[in-house]
Amino acid sequence: MINKISASVAEALASVKDGATVLIGGFGTAGIPGELIDGLIEQGAKDLTVVNNNAGNADQGLAALLKTGRVRKIICSFPRQVDSWVFDELYRSGRLELELVPQGNLAERIRAAGAGIGAFFCPTAFGTELAKGKETREIDGRQYVLEYPIHGDVALIKAEAGDRWGNLVYRKSARNFGPVMATAARHTVATVFEIKELGELDPEAIVTPGIHVSKIVKIPRVATQAGGFRKAA
Amino acid sequence: MMNAPKYQKRTKDELARRVAQDIHDGAYVNLGIGMPTAVANHIPAGREVILQSENGILGMGPAPAAGQEDYDLINAGKQPVTLLPGGAYFHHADSFAMMRGGHLDICVLGAFQVSARGDLANWSTGEAGAIPAVGGAMDLAIGAKQTWVMMDLLSKAGDSKVVESCTYPLTGIACVKRIYTDLCTLECTPQGLRLIDAVEGLSREELERLIQLPVATAN
Taking a contact as any Cβ pair under 8 Å apart, which residues of chain A between 167 and 186 contact chain B? 170-180
DSSP string across A31-80: T--HHHHHHHHHH---SEEEE-SS--BTTBTHHHHHHTT-EEEEEES---
Each residue's pLDDT tens digit, B5-42? 789 999 999 999 999 999 999 999 999 998 999 999 99
Q: What pLDDT is attached to residue A226?
A: 83
**Chain B contact for A212, CB < 8 A?**
no
Q: Do A123 and B134 touch (CB under 8 A)?
A: no
Q: Which SS3 state, helix, strand or coil, does residue A209 take?
A: coil
Each residue's pLDDT tens digit, B107-138? 999 999 999 999 999 999 989 888 999 999 99
Q: For residue B155, which amino acid is it?
A: S
Q: Are B122 and B175 in contact (CB under 8 A)?
A: no
Nearest neighbour of A30 by CB, restricted to B71, B131, B136: B71
Tell me which residue range forms the domain holding A91. Answer: 5-218
Other CB atoms within 10 A of residue A205 CB: 8
Local structure of residue A191 (DSSP, 8 states): E
Report the percent of chain A where pLDDT is more than 70.
97
**Chain B contact for A117, CB < 8 A?**
no
Taking the C-alpha atoms of residue B19 and residue B104, their distance in angstroms, rounded to an integer, is 16
Local structure of residue A173 (DSSP, 8 states): G
Each residue's pLDDT tens digit, B152-178? 999 999 999 999 999 999 999 999 999
Single out the residue of A210, A183, A184, A191 nearest to residue A9, CA to CA: A191
Each residue's pLDDT tens digit, A101-150? 999 999 999 999 999 999 999 999 999 999 999 999 999 999 999 999 99
Q: Are A17 and A153 in contact (CB under 8 A)?
A: yes
Other CB atoms within 10 A of residue B55 CB: 29
Q: Are A16 and A154 in contact (CB under 8 A)?
A: yes
Question: What backbone phi and psi angles, to 5 degrees, belong to A203?
Answer: -60, -25
Taking the C-alpha atoms of residue B145 and residue B152, their distance in angstroms, rounded to an integer, is 23
Q: What pLDDT is attached to residue A23?
A: 98
| Higher pLDDT pick, A163 / A29 | A163
Confidence band of B140 (pLDDT split at 50, 70, 90): very high
Domain boundaries, chain B: 12-216
Taking the C-alpha atoms of residue A169 and residue A206, their distance in angstroms, rounded to an integer, is 5
The answer to whether residue A184 is domain-embedded is yes
Number of domains comprising chain A? 1
**Chain A contact for B97, CB < 8 A?**
yes
Return mean pLDDT, chain A. 96
Q: Which SS3 state, helix, strand or coil, does residue A18 take?
A: coil
Residue B3 above 70 pLDDT?
no
> How far B216 CA sits from the closest chain A CA (Å)?
27
Residue A213 above 60 pLDDT?
yes
Residue B1 above 70 pLDDT?
no
Taking the C-alpha atoms of residue B194 and residue B185, their distance in angstroms, rounded to an integer, is 9
Residue A230 above 90 pLDDT?
no
Distances from the Cα of A217 to the Cα of A4, A7, A58, A188, B139, angstroms: 9, 7, 26, 11, 34
Q: What pLDDT is attached to residue B218?
A: 74
* Reported pTM: 0.96
**Chain B contact for A123, CB < 8 A?**
yes
Fold of the domain spanning B12-216: Glutaconate Coenzyme A-transferase (3.40.1080)
| C-alpha dihedral (B205, B207, B209, B211), degrees to nearest 10 | -140
Beta strands B106-109 and B28-31, pairing class: parallel
Q: What pLDDT is attached to residue A233?
A: 38
Report the percent of chain B where pLDDT is more than 70.
98
Distances from the Cα of A176 to the Cα of A7, A172, B73, B87, B121, angstroms: 26, 9, 11, 16, 27
Asked if B200 is an active-site residue, the reply is: no
- Substitution target in A128, A140, A158, A180 with the highest count of B β-carbons within 10 Å is A128
Taking a contact as any Cβ pair under 8 Å apart, which residues of chain B between 123 and 162 contact chain A? 124, 129, 131-139, 142-143
Q: Which ipTM score applies to this complex?
A: 0.95
Report the largest interatomic distance among the alpha carbons of chain A, rounded to a whole angstrom: 55
Taking the C-alpha atoms of residue B136 and residue B119, their distance in angstroms, rounded to an integer, is 17
Residue A229 above 60 pLDDT?
no
Taking each helix axis from N to C end, the angle separating A103-115 and B92-100, rounded to the nearest 10 degrees, works out to: 110
The answer to whether residue A227 is domain-embedded is no
Report the percent of chain A where pLDDT is more than 90.
94
The answer to whether residue A85 is domain-embedded is yes
The answer to whether residue A223 is domain-embedded is no
> How far B150 CA sits from the closest chain A CA (Å)?
17
Taking the C-alpha atoms of residue A26 and residue A52, their distance in angstroms, rounded to an integer, is 7
Size of the A and B interface in Cβ pairs below 8 Å: 161
Nearest neighbour of A100 by CB, restricted to B132, B136, B142: B132
Distances from the Cα of B157 to the Cα of B160, B193, B214, angstroms: 9, 22, 21
Question: What backbone phi and psi angles, to 5 degrees, belong to A2?
Answer: -90, 125
Closest-CA residue of B relative to A29 is B71
Q: What pLDDT is attached to residue A96?
A: 98
Q: Are B159 and B181 in contact (CB under 8 A)?
A: no
Q: Do B89 and A130 touch (CB under 8 A)?
A: no
The answer to whether residue A228 is domain-embedded is no
CATH of the domain at A201: 3.40.1080.10
Each residue's pLDDT tens digit, A72-84? 999 999 999 889 9
Each residue's pLDDT tens digit, B65-89? 999 999 999 999 999 999 999 999 9
Residue A88 above 70 pLDDT?
yes
Q: What pLDDT is attached to residue B128?
A: 86
3-state SS record for chain B: CCCCCCCCCCCHHHHHHHHHHCCCCCCEEEECCCHHHHHHHHCCCCCCCEEEECCCEEEEECCCCCCCCCCCCECCCCCECEEEEEEEECCHHHHHHHHHCCCCCEEEECCCEEECCCCEECCCCCCCCCCCCCCCHHHHHHHCCEEEEEECCECCCCCECEECCCCCCCCECCCEEEEEECCEEEEEECCEEEEEEECCCCCHHHHHHHHCCCEECCC
